Amino acid sequence: MADANGNKEAKDYGLDVPVKKEAFFLKGLDHVDWGIKDRMGRIFNKKSGNTVMLAFDHGYIMGPTSGLERIDLGIVPLIDYADCIMCTRGVLRSCVPPQVNKPVSLRFSAGTTVLNDLNDECILDIEEAIRLNASALAIMVSVGGKYEAKTIDNLVRTADMGAKYGIPTLGVTAVGKELTRDSRYLSMASRVCAENGATFVKTYYCEEGFEKVTAACPVPIVIAGGKKVPELDALTIAYRAIQQGAAGVDMGRNVFQADAPVAMLKAVRGVVHDELKPEEAFELYNELKSA
């Protein structure tokens, strides 16, 4: 019993120093487990409270879309400037060097492609996500769509498995041809994701009433960029979304299809983390583009 003999007596109990009680820095997540907080703390910047995620999972439903033909050439050089990457396991293993050491939001549901009815999806195996050291499990949820029940069931099962292993679940609100992207729909879809266990939610920005979408969602919201628009417009969308309560972006096409993708990603960071106005970020984009 070497330790029992000659031990220095413990005396530094800090009796006059109360234990600090700190709220977690992201909304709605005070009561989740340590592993989930640790992973969310790697995805989100603690200073700004926001994140710039780079999405390049489009190939799982679209095939080789513009900008994603060669992930090694088009995407890998961007990864350094993102806080988190969102992709499928196939692209992660085949094209993303593990030494980039970025949190991964793993595309965790898969099924039909754009050649068919979207959202008829199954989910991956949780062991696969653990093997890949995923920091989040991204699940498509089609509220109001043909596969509503199936995709909500996928979300529920993913959130249960994620909670078991301390991995956050990202509920991704799908937009079907028949569904409108207005605040009424987006707030319902986002809320349904949160109510069913999503740790954070990815949805679209809408011009009217987006602040109601973020206000009514009890967990952080990140926005998708949507179809490619001119760079200033994309920066304006990101700016307005942040001003109206989003905790970041999970952008794809508006970054990797930009004329200068690295410059665009840096400009988006300016908006999301440094409170740059869209015009200031666009100026930065042009400066970096011509440097």
Residues that bind ligand 5RP (CB under 6 A): 55, 57-58, 86, 140, 172, 224-226, 250-254
Catalytic annotation present for 202: yes
Q: Is the CB of 32 or the CB of 87 nearer to ligand 5RP? A: 87
Residue bearing tokens 């529920």:
156
| DSSP-derived secondary structure for 202-228 | EE---SSSHHHHHHT-SS-EEEE--S-
Nearer of residues 37 and 273 to ligand 5RP, judged by Cβ? 273
Q: Report, in Å, the least distance between residue 21 CB and ligand 5RP.
A: 36
Shortest distance in whole angstroms from residue 180 CB to ligand 5RP: 17
Active-site residue identified among 102, 150, 202, 266: 202
Whether residue 144 contacts residue 174, with contact meaning beta carbons closer than 8 Å, is answered with no
Q: How far is the CB of 140 from ligand 5RP (least distance, A)?
A: 6
Of 32 and 170, nearer to ligand 5RP (C-beta) is 170
Rg over alpha carbons for the chain, rounded to the nearest Å, is 20
Cα 119 to Cα 65, 91, 161, 267: the distances in Å are 19, 20, 21, 32
Cite the beta strand spans of 2-132 per DSSP E: 51-55, 84-87, 104-107, 109-111, 121-123
DSSP for 46-72 reads TTTS-EEEEE--THHHHSS-TT-S-HH
Nearest distance from C-beta of residue 51 to ligand 5RP, angstroms: 13
Specify the residue, 26 or 222, whose C-beta has the smaller distance to ligand 5RP: 222
| Identity of the amino acid at 240 | R
Instruction: Give the Cα separation of 34 and 74 in Å (integer).
Output: 35
**Minimum distance from residue 75 beta carbon to ligand 5RP (Å):** 12
| Comparison of 37 and 58: residue with beta carbon closer to ligand 5RP | 58
Query: Could you give the angle at the alpha carbon of 257 between the alpha carbons of 255 and 261, nearest 5°?
Result: 50
Whole-number Å distance between alpha carbons of 45 and 157: 28
Q: Residues with catalytic annotation?
A: 202
